[in-house]
Amino acid sequence: MNQDRNSGSLRRQPVQKRSAERFERLLDACAELLDEVGYAAVTTKEVARRAEVPIGTLYQFFSDREGLIGALAARNLEAFLERVAVRLEREKPDDVPGVVEVAVEEYVAMRRTVTGFGVVDFGAVGRDHTLDPALDNNTAVAGRLRSLIGSRSGVQDDAELGIAIRVALECADGVLRLAFRTDPQGDPQLIAECKRVLNSYLNDRVRSLATRREAH
């Protein structure tokens, strides 16, 4: 899938193969350090050292540490969306619960296995514009998920659906953070409750939107 990097996170896109390899090594090193030392302790100097890349090369791509972490968050989002899209294509759920099941399961799988994802999934905690300077993180993610849910729920991909997904993401964000705070692998009961909450809310909203459109 094409990496839709936030333009505010990068000074320039890597073009040549060598540049692209260095770019990915920097993101990998950043993710490793996030797990090892935490968000506050990550420095561009240590990321460059870990990636075996000159610090000047890092600054050719990223204006600062936040730009580097923003690019990592964008990579995480693209990986998540690709995983969800592949499963939806394979399993072809035709209702909200099927989509919710896939989305939550893929998020949980990434949280368990992807380096740095537990610290910076799609944006750093306390920094609401990691992905896009104009949008808070959950709004940016919701915008990317709208078409996936709309196409499988019988509801047109529009602003009202976007708001519903935005609210659902806020709920999921809170419950899943609690699940992983309670259990490093994610508390199964809380993950199940997250799915239940999302299904109840989104089913109700999708039915309401569909009924309203049929009436018109």
Give the pLDDT confidence of 161-213 residue by residue, as tens digits.
889 999 999 999 999 999 999 999 999 999 999 999 999 999 898 888 877 76
- Per-residue model confidence as pLDDT tens digits over 100-149: 999 999 999 999 999 999 999 998 766 777 787 778 888 888 888 887 77
What's the rounded Cα separation, in Å, for the pair 140 and 80? 14
To the nearest 10 degrees (0 to 180), the angle between helices 137-150 and 96-113 is 140
Q: What is the CATH number of domain 92-215?
A: 1.10.357.10
Assess contact for 28 and 79: CB atoms under 8 A. no
